[in-house]
Structure 1
Amino acid sequence: MLQRVDEFCERYGLTVPVLEAPMAGACPPELAVAVAQAGGMGANGVVLDRPDAIAAWVARFRAAGGGPLQLNVWVPDEPVDDPARVEAASAFLQRFGSPADPAGAGPVYDEQCEAMLAARPTAVSTIMGLFEPDLVRRLREQGVAWFAAATTLDEALAAQEAGADAVVAQGMEAGGHRGTFDPAAAERTDISLMALVPRLADHLDVPVIAAGGIADGRGVAAALALGASAVQVGTAFLRTPEAGIDPSWAAALADLPPEGTVPTRAYSGRLGRAVATPYVTAWREPGAPATAPYPQQRALVGRYRRAGAQVDRANNWAGQSAALAREEPAGEVVRRLWAGALELLA
């Protein structure tokens, strides 16, 4: 088992098999640097970023010391044209206040991919789908690995066939957006990490990276024992000083029980696991409408935030092990997770 871990670490320049989850909006360069300098892999989710922002983030990361780095992007969904859903969601949001004017167009996926190629990180990762063959070829030519998130064996096999160098097994315990390729199937792919990792490890030839509910050495050791070569950790870093997230979000994570998180589409229209805030809970009330599809729901929520309405100031994402997150430096989190795992694995 440790040989498998050592091979993964050697390939990607790590001394610790802990990857920071690429959490869009919660991955400042300071957090990524702290993780990388502790021996792991730093990360940034760029789904909200234009090319100049991607380049600037990577420049700050490298100027501060750099290290192994993963950049993550969403593969775009097929557009959903459902004006009735958008109108119903917009009407429901009016209970929280009034909206601001619509914002301009968001970043362009193809341009984001070009910016990531130009940055030449250790790895580029995907969620919600797969890269096209030409992009996979260009990544290989530049020596950049491709990590593909998957929530089922079928998705993982498709990623391997498409050329992924590793598969991120995302369990249903994970905070943030669910990586299911088909948006409509997200609620049906609620597989726990304990079931998903061995399922993938038994059928894949590429390494498996375990993600979801891992926040201490016990979780790391369990994931590696089940067949993973490394782990990807998100919520455990959110209370670190380097993360710098909205104070109300950070406070909500303190001693948050697993049942205090819920799957929701309230923030973006795509399913994700978050704190059961009053805003999130309102969308689960009897008679509440379905959210608008992605990305219309995200755009609607943004309008209400810009107007100062009573919606959550940030997406309060949280995995089911949020209570294990500590207020301590990110480098200490990495070292503590690996030391605890080694003690158990020995």
Structure 2
Amino acid sequence: MSQKDFRDTFLNNIIDFLWRQWSAIGVLGEARAKESWVIDPEALLVLTLDIGRYEPRLFDEVMDWLVTNGYWIDIQRLRGILRESTDETCRLMGAVSEFLSSQGLERKWNNLAKLCYKNIPKEREPLFKLRYIEKHIEGIAGIPVDERFLKYKLFRTLLTPSKKSREVIPTAESNIRFMLRALFGVGSRAECVLYLLTHDAGHPSEVAKAIGLSVRGTQDALIDLSKSGLVLTRIKGKRKIEYWLSQERWWEFLSKGSYGEIKRPVWLDWIALFEALSKVWAVLLEIGKTKSEYIKSSKLRDAMEIVGNEFAQSGIDIPPIPGRGVRPENYEKAFREFIIRVFGVEE
């Protein structure tokens, strides 16, 4: 398999995966199957900013979704994820925030647009990329340019939302995060309850790390929730307080069904997982210029280790990631098969 075909396999499957995730929460499209995990819109958005540059229709449909459903987005979580992201990703988020501010959503997105306006390059570049081609045609004379993106040195035609995206259906299993945000408001309380619904218990520091919010804010939210008597505390180890709740009672209340019959979605650390996938893509672009099979397989193994670990911890039944026993010259094939089985379907 050529390097180009290999990268295409990864990119096509990740794009297909992103389409399924977004379709499940209202983006115009067809979700082929119900997802078995909790969807994380903030982490999903950040990965889509990077990968969506290779799929303009996905990028624009997500912009349309944000116009309709942007009130569900937790800006505080988004800012936390962006702090660990590249300047390029932050610039993309700034342009998107600028666009959303122009759609009557200035109060929510304007500050984020200002925060992301940093380290802007002097030269403008096309927002959408031709796969693996460094030179781009900027546009055709007479076609209007979107000044909101151009402010961040990103060239694209004028974006006009179609407003065809559906509103999120919070009662779907994978959309439990949205249901909790409807109940508790967008913020740390909803995230804390979600974590406790999908884990036996949690200490404030580990909960904070998992949900992508500050330890102080998470601890304050857990203390407030415990005052209700429905979120409980217990001592673990040397005076270590952890929080927990009766999952049976909570799930029956939220789903209006019997606990034994409820299909509870699985928690995945999408922040870490999507960050790892971004690194895998960066590695794939990097090794395209590398001839050594050993270096290629070594870089891919390092990048994929995080991906495999996150899925393994979730309990989801997936094939093992290609291990050290795979010879360097065979690693690309093993890696390709893993990606197809986990994230998508072969074209």
TM class by smaller structure: under 0.3
Comparing both structures, which one devotes a greater share of its residues to helix? 2
- The structure where strand makes up a greater share of residues is 1
TM-score normalized by the length of structure 2: 0.27
Whichever of the two has the greater Rg, that structure is 2
